[in-house]
Structure 1
Amino acid sequence: DRLAGLVGIAAAPDFIDWGYDDAQKAQLARGETVLEDNPYGPEPTPTHAGFWADARQHLLLGAPIPITCPVTLLQGQRDAEVPWETALRLAERLDSDKVLVQLAKDGDHRLSRPQDLARLIAAVEELVQPPA
């Protein structure tokens, strides 16, 4: 019960299942590294086979997730990396009864515009307020 609350931003649980195509998954299964274009910088983003294998041991969406504290999930509907429906799937799996999903219809993956940051700050402030 050390966790008072949780805020997720473009949360990507089980991304190794839906974030890679079959060819990339085959590369990783052979122990190879996959290099993907990085929309945020000049260098490609590497995914190493060891990381991928480890992540397979930590899939979440196939069973209830034993988190019972309040959770706020922030997600942009124009996110090219994480489909916004992922936030809804995650919310369904959380054991907590206090789950809020906030969709920014015009928000992207980074949610770094002033209005997005204001939403993030408000979500954190809401969680740290003592109960009334």
Structure 2
Amino acid sequence: MYPEDLKYTTEHEWLRSPGEHEGSVRIGITQYAQDALGDIVYVSLPAVGDAVTGGETCGELESTKSVSDIYAPVSGEVVAVNSALDATPELVNDDPYGGGWLFEVVPSDPGQIDGLLDAAAYEASLQG
């Protein structure tokens, strides 16, 4: 159910390595998270050049149900944001693993990625 080529956090973010930019990883939210949020109507993301800290909030998703924090899966520098979400935030609902990606980060320590969950462990965390 969850793509095997991604890493996951218990806060329902995914990470794809590599990202589109040199040394970066791409970050988004899982199908589970977008289902729980409902229709997303606004996305607030970190800016290019911002430093983010793994496990800390770095943005928000606003839906018709609630506002939810976005957590950085790894520490590093933001090198890209999905500007398409400004006009069409519903891409996060429609295609959370593709066009609905959120931002890209160059990790300060690429080893951080190893500490994230694989698809099976993420799915098991949803059961528990």
Q: TM-score range by the shorter chain?
A: under 0.3
Higher helix fraction: Structure 1 or Structure 2?
A: 1
Q: TM-score, normalised by structure 1?
A: 0.27
Q: Quick check: which one's strand share is greater?
A: 2
What TM-score comes out, normalization by structure 2 length? 0.27
Larger Rg: 1
